[in-house]
Structure 1
Amino acid sequence: MSDIRTLLITLLLVTALPAHAGQSAAAEPAAAKTWRLATISAIRDTPDGRINGIWNAGTLFTARQEGEDWLRISGHFPDNTWAPLDQPLWVSRHYANEVVPRTEPPRRSAPERYIVVNKNSFLLQIFERKSTGDEVIYQTKVALGMDRCMPREQGGRCYYTEPGEYAVRWKVHDPEGIEWCIPKYMEGEYAEDIANGQRCFRGAIGTHALNIGKSYAIHGTSRPDLIGRRVSRGCVRAANADMRKIYNLMQVGDKVIITQ
């Protein structure tokens, strides 16, 4: 009987995990699901409580949804192997997507669209493929990466919006304003804020964002006066009203091209 019970628990675990995650030594509760962070996020000891840590975009974890706004984290995947947490942690539901195994490619019902960001003109354009040719259906000015290095006393890290081909990986929307948190590699640049106890900033990147790979995102801004300038750490910033339209027009998987 014990062998049968062990087999059933293992099967439940493997079904719940993404395909690339390894098996675990302990089984996650069946009610939990696997999630992936869509943006860098504050992890808290209780809903809206003290910040316990900062997790990067793409981090996999298991959690149960509690209400509409929070996920109760019970485990994560160090070295692609599920491991339980010593105590539950919490993250906003707005910043994570459930990992759903796919047995076939997704079917697209919306028109095929792609984004082109021109670094010389600071212009973002959304194209839609039509039988008569590709047509611009929306465009707006944006801010781009500073394309330079920070002073050595601030860490000396270099930030560029690198030309290339990307794709919309995840979409993030928080109606209260996306909470952007200082990642570890930027701590030197924000040393004063951290010393004052401020690690996260609500609404600094607006209410809508598209993760496009690397550490890049197309997102809103609390500084619309800087649109048309090279000021970001590599992300593409749009005015919040424009970003809301971009968010609604694009789907996960859509191509994003950044040109010189």
Structure 2
Amino acid sequence: MLDARPRPTRFAGTLLGLATLVLTTLAPVAQAEEWPRGHYPLPDQGSLIGEPYTVTASQEETLLDIAREHAVGYEEIRQANPDVSLWLPGEGTEVVIPAQHLLPDAPRDGIVINIAELRLYYYPEVGEGETPRVETYPIGIGREGFDTPLGTTRTTMKLEDPAWYPPASVREEAAARGEEAPAVVPPGPDNPLGRHAILLEIPGYLIHGTNRPDGIGMRASRGCIRMFPEDVEALFRSVPVDTPVHLIDQPFKAAWQDGTLYAQSFATPEVEEQALSHRLEALATLETLKAEAEVTIDYAQLSEALDAAPGRIVSLTPNA
């Protein structure tokens, strides 16, 4: 059964705390990824994977070109580089690639889609002697009024070069504009499903490619999960039918690793009446983690830091 809870909003406002905490953000370093694009070895312990790094823009590249090359979505690249022009970063401009992630608090089994994060995680089965890994890719999800559903489902079918049958809502919108929507859109450059589609057990919902890749990392679909063409092709080749898919909405993540508490929050659409409940959820998460190490946390400082840098992982190192 699908989880009918409303979409969480941005972790914002002031949470009360009494003791002090040294808070530092993880600085990006200039380096290249050693693993294939979007692939990371699973940590033996903890949830932290990857690390941020910087690249240098060329004269012809847009910020979106750079984001796609490094498996980053629209919101992620904008939030990591707020002062860099979207269309003309400029030759020689350093661009931060936010390639560090806290794994969601969800089963490390099959596919996990974190709606708040606009990101998909895939935990493939590995053979004997292979390093356990996770693959993670940016996604586009449902816009307002077409929310991507939550809950646990499974993959049921994989289609290469699928045809698209516009739903009633598309035909109605076209009629309102005085246009006529086609009954079917065959494979090709005009097909919004792209070349690869993975059907879910939830009727009418798919993980698929797109003919508009600039929308990856945004809330712009009618509820389906969109991916860059090269990412969905890689997933298509790797994911078996009957793979579990966990659709979650986790705007606040926190975990201990190597004696340090890491936290991450995401800028999701704010709904004032939900703000308190989401602050309380974040507080409960941190209280549980705090108890594991018997340390205290300045929640007001944490809230201010995460609101100032949505999506950025912060390390919380207690004073000695």
Quickly name the TM-score band, shorter chain normalised: 0.3 to 0.5
- Output the TM-score relative to the length of structure 1: 0.47
Higher normalized strand content (fraction of residues): 1
Structure number with the bigger relative contact order (C-alpha 8 A, sep ≥ 6) is 2
